[in-house]
Amino acid sequence: MSLVAHSLDVIKRLQAPSGAYPASPTFSAYRGYSWLRDGAFIAEGVSRHGDVTGADAFHAWCARVVGDRAGQVDTLVSRAGRGEEIPSAEMLPTRFTLDGVDGDDDWWDFQLDGYGTWLWALREHATRHGRLAPGVEKGVRTAARYLTAFWHVPCYDWWEEHVEQRHVATLGSVHAGLRAAVALGVLSATESAAATSAVEGIADLVAREGVTEGGFLRKWLGSDAVDASLLACVEPFGLYPAGHPVGAATVAEVERQLARDGGVYRYLADTFYGGGRWVLLAGFLGWNHARAGRRDDALRYLAWMAAQATPSGDLPEQVPDLLLAPERRQEWLDRWGPVATPLLWSHGMYLVLADELGVTA
């Protein structure tokens, strides 16, 4: 079975009856949970390969999960409007159980990027297949109100770290999500105007504070470090398109600092499981190269992704060779066991990049 076919099979087989995509079926820290961010990219992968039903079910699940919290969002927005500082623990979570309820264990939960990424993926799916999944309007409006009110607030990044910072990859995710919400045409005139104003505010903030003197995007405002999550600010989110000098410089700097032998690190100070190269990040770098017309470079990253599959075809979260901090690997093995395998987001990103390149194997 080709890796494309296996990826589609793994994702379809593990999708919950609710429509949620589990992050990883066996990994101790992820088991039983679905992330909006991971799931959105998984849905994008299967949508590109014709699994309309599976993607529809995921987007309907997201819409229910978010829409069910409309009252909570309204309360949060009202409190913020009165000038109240809201603890991060009271904000919406970044992950939900497969049945769509809040988890009951501690997690680094306040992340905005997943809500923006879901809205972006929903619009991509709707545009590709010529229709909006039924019943998603309330969820879209709720997510848009939430992001419009809180886009400027520091929160955890893609990697559940540094809640005290404003992360450029998060800002790029929200920017894309609010643009998508407006384009979907389900917001009221007032909501649409507010979302558009937020989009403009994000673009202005990043232009002023989010670009280094070297011309590439920062990991967070005030830092000169880079992070592989910044790749998404170019493709697919288009905060700075591939042809823009900042977009091109960001991709080049991420590749210079973080890519090695086909794989991509999250960031140079990473110690999670020893700081290995992530399969899904090779997919993002390849995606950027494909959109920029560098097909051979993109194919090289796709080939590296495929080479990391287990004998049964499953893709892991990261690989244990060429670690940045090998002395830190054992503590994570002791804490959570072997690296997440399969990671459905890795399979989703393989599907995305394979589609970009017209590869069916």
pLDDT in tens, 53-63: 999 999 999 99
Q: What's the Cα-to-Cα distance from 186 to each of 132, 141, 165, 189, 326, rounded to whole Å?
A: 10, 7, 32, 9, 49
* pLDDT tens digit sequence for 110-128: 999 999 999 999 999 999 9
Handedness of CA 168, 138, 120, 204 (dihedral sign): negative
With contact defined as beta carbons under 8 Å apart, do 100 and 68 qualify?
yes
* pTM (predicted TM-score): 0.97
> Catalytic pick from 157, 161, 314, 355?
157
User: Side-chain half-sphere of 200: how many Cα atoms within 13 Å?
Assistant: 6
Residue 1: pLDDT over 90: no
Q: Determine the average pLDDT of the residues in 319-341.
A: 97
Residue 36: pLDDT over 90: yes
Q: Who wins on pLDDT, 107 or 297?
A: 297
* pLDDT tens digit sequence for 233-260: 999 999 999 899 999 999 999 999 999 9
CA-CA distance, 184 to 182, in Å (whole number)? 6
> Catalytic pick from 314, 317, 355, 356?
317
CA-CA distance, 285 to 305, in Å (whole number)? 11
Residue in this structure with the two tokens 């680094």, named with its chain if needed: 108
> Catalytic pick from 160, 191, 253, 297?
160
Q: What is the full DSSP assignment across 67-116?
A: HTTHHHHHHHHHHHHTTPPPPGGGSPPSEEETTS-B-SS------SHHHH
Residue 108: pLDDT over 90: no
Asked about 317 being catalytic, the answer comes back as yes
Averaged confidence pLDDT in the chain: 97
Residue in this structure with the two tokens 């140079």, named with its chain if needed: 268
Asked about 157 being catalytic, the answer comes back as yes
CATH of domain 3-357: 1.50.10.10
Asked about 253 being catalytic, the answer comes back as no
With contact defined as beta carbons under 8 Å apart, do 195 and 177 qualify?
no
Beta carbons within 8 Å of 260's beta carbon, 6+ residues apart: 277, 322
